[in-house]
Chain A
Amino acid sequence: MTKEQKLMNAIGNIDDEFILEAADKAPAVKKKSYVKWIALAACLCLCVGAVAVFVLRNGDKPKTSDDARWKEKYVEMSYELSTDSAYEKKWDELKIYEQYSEATLGNNTYITGGCEIEKSQLGKKLSVAELVGYDIYDDKYYYLSCEGYEITGINTECAVAIELETDKFYVYRNSGYKPETLGDFVNDLSLEENLVVGGASFLWYDYEKEKYQTVVFEDNIDKQKVFEMLFSDLDAQAVKDYDLRSFEEDMGLSVSVPKLGHNNISLAVTKDGYLTTNILSTGKAFYIGEDKTKAFSDYVKYNYEGFVIIYVDDVTDEDSSYASDDDSSAVASTVVSQGQPAPEIIE
């Protein structure tokens, strides 16, 4: 055994707490793949022709998620091998926000994903932000001081804007932000104004195939309904030990907060009454009650058209939807089956 293998094995036996803390809680990345690429696949479906569609039993929308089938869409998957870690850019090759991705302002540390923000979105000037960059080739630290600004409608505990170059401002987010209540969270981010709501998805147990399938709702869910149904109890307390808990998602929304540079991240409800999200990069959960979370899940299922996405893989598996659910490097490409006979219709 090599020393590297020995170290890798030793890392394997670290405390369960650390392993669970780092487990991806909500399939935000997968949701990106589903919603973005399924919308594309839907458009391509119309262009290329044959799509595998099964008529819903009795022609009705499913009354429950368990006793009815959902329409299916076939999407061909191709896997991208990640080669991004093979070469690390030299200091001069990095963009300025890549060089100085971490900033300290006041008592908070912020990091940036490189999202620029217009000057018109800024509020008052804050104190000077201190930034640190590290050149891994020369083992050298670089320091920069820049002006920090409020972002209008966003509490500085959540995010700030930093002027890295003259008249170029970047959003820096505080992943350590922990709201006390749902009301704090909504107000600190002006979520009613800043949240953009996309489609939804949930895991459905297919008793016929004896496996879980993802049902995707492509249309944007009504934002007003989302706020009415999920954000009415502003006194709902935030869960303090989020990283040590497991939350079983019942229905997940794809949401964006453009002002923070967030695109297609997660806002979800769980079976046991929690509203969860990874807005501002770390997991947050608020207990709003099982009645509310179930009502919301049912609202989406009964009012929006959902599809089971069947990924056609490059291996021999006929139905690779199980295989592809958890591969976040997968990219959906064009729809299969031009010229193939239509599958048997289920009445």
Chain B
Amino acid sequence: MEDKDIVKLFLERDEKAIGYAEQKYGTYCRSISRSIVGTNEDANECLNDTFLRAWNSIPPAKPENLKAYLAKIIRNLSLDLYDSKNAQKRGNGEMPVIYDELSECIASEESVIEKLEASALTTAINDFLSKQKPELRKLFVKRYWYAQSVKEIAQSENASESYVKMSLHRLRKKLSDFLSKESWL
């Protein structure tokens, strides 16, 4: 079923919309959550909440791309769940390492990140990503949006793990320089 038809069912408040959305994007959404929260149980919880949230938000939302809309919902839910469970201690899986890696993008003095509004920071990151070669941009998004491991990224991109690590390191450095130079303050 096409996305526009599923969205139409949401707008018409037809509960079949949830079933179709789950059939089409359940596996994809679940994989996003699993990478972040680390367990099947938590991923299932986030998946159920995702479709409930989609049901409650469409309308008034009318997503042009249902896949990305659902993906963003489950990513946010998964991060919230992960952060709430691991506030005081380091969790399992990729997230502790990902947060450590992202700390490299944050200047040690007078943090740009602190001063920027969230939407301005997203605009800056979009601008940064639009300037990167597609193959490098994919590595960045797979690591920091999808929270995939270096091994998974290397396998899916048919590259060596060292190439992926080197590229991610360079990208983090470039992002740090980019954020420092831009007059977003």
Interface residues of A (CB under 8 A from B): 2-16, 18-24, 28-29, 32, 81-82, 84-86, 88-89, 94, 97-99, 101-102, 111-114, 133-134, 136, 173, 175-176, 205, 212, 243, 246, 262, 265, 278, 280-282, 313, 315, 317, 320, 322-323, 325-329
Contact = CB atoms under 8 A, between A and B. Distances in A.
A327 B157 CA distance: 16
Report which residue of B105, B121, B134, B160 has the largest number of chain A beta carbons within 10 angstroms of its beta carbon.
Answer: B160
Given A3-B113, A136-B169, A322-B27, A18 B93 contact: no
B157 to A, nearest CB: 6
B118 A18 contact: no
Contacts of B52: none
B152 A11 contact: no
Report which residue of B41, B111, B114, B165 has the largest number of chain A beta carbons within 10 angstroms of its beta carbon.
Answer: B165
A42 to B, nearest CB: 23
A278 to B, nearest CB: 7
Contacts of A133: 166
Given A29-B152, A85-B150, A98 B83 contact: no
Contacts of B149: 82, 84-85, 329
A101 B144 CA distance: 22
B40 interface: yes
B111 A3 contact: yes
Contacts of B93: 81-82
Contacts of B102: 4, 7-8
A328 B155 contact: yes
Contact of B165 (A8, A20, A88): A88
22 contacts: A3-B114, A9-B79, A9-B118, A10-B118, A12-B75, A12-B145, A13-B118, A16-B65, A21-B134, A22-B137, A22-B142, A32-B155, A81-B92, A85-B165, A101-B166, A111-B163, A134-B169, A176-B135, A262-B158, A315-B39, A322-B27, A327-B31
B118 A134 contact: no
B103 A4 contact: yes
B141 interface: yes
Interface stretch (B5-13, B54-62, B122-130): B122-130
Nearest to A280: B158
A32 B155 CA distance: 10
A4 B96 CA distance: 10
A243 B30 CA distance: 21
Given A12-B76, A14-B129, A22-B146, 8 more contacts: A6-B114, A8-B102, A29-B152, A82-B93, A85-B97, A98-B160, A212-B27, A328-B155
Contacts of B152: 29, 82, 328-329
Contact of A7 (B69, B72, B121): B121
A13 B157 contact: no
Contacts of A9: 76, 79, 118
A281 B159 contact: yes
Contacts, number: 189
Given A14-B129, A317-B40, A329-B149, A101 B134 contact: no
Given A15-B126, A315-B41, A21 B145 contact: no
Given A32-B155, A136-B166, A97 B160 contact: yes
Contact of B40 (A86, A88, A323): A323
A102 B163 contact: yes
Contact of B163 (A10, A81, A101, A265): A101
Contact of A10 (B40, B41, B121, B146): B121
Nearest to B38: A81
Contacts of A4: 99, 102-103, 106
A32 B151 CA distance: 14
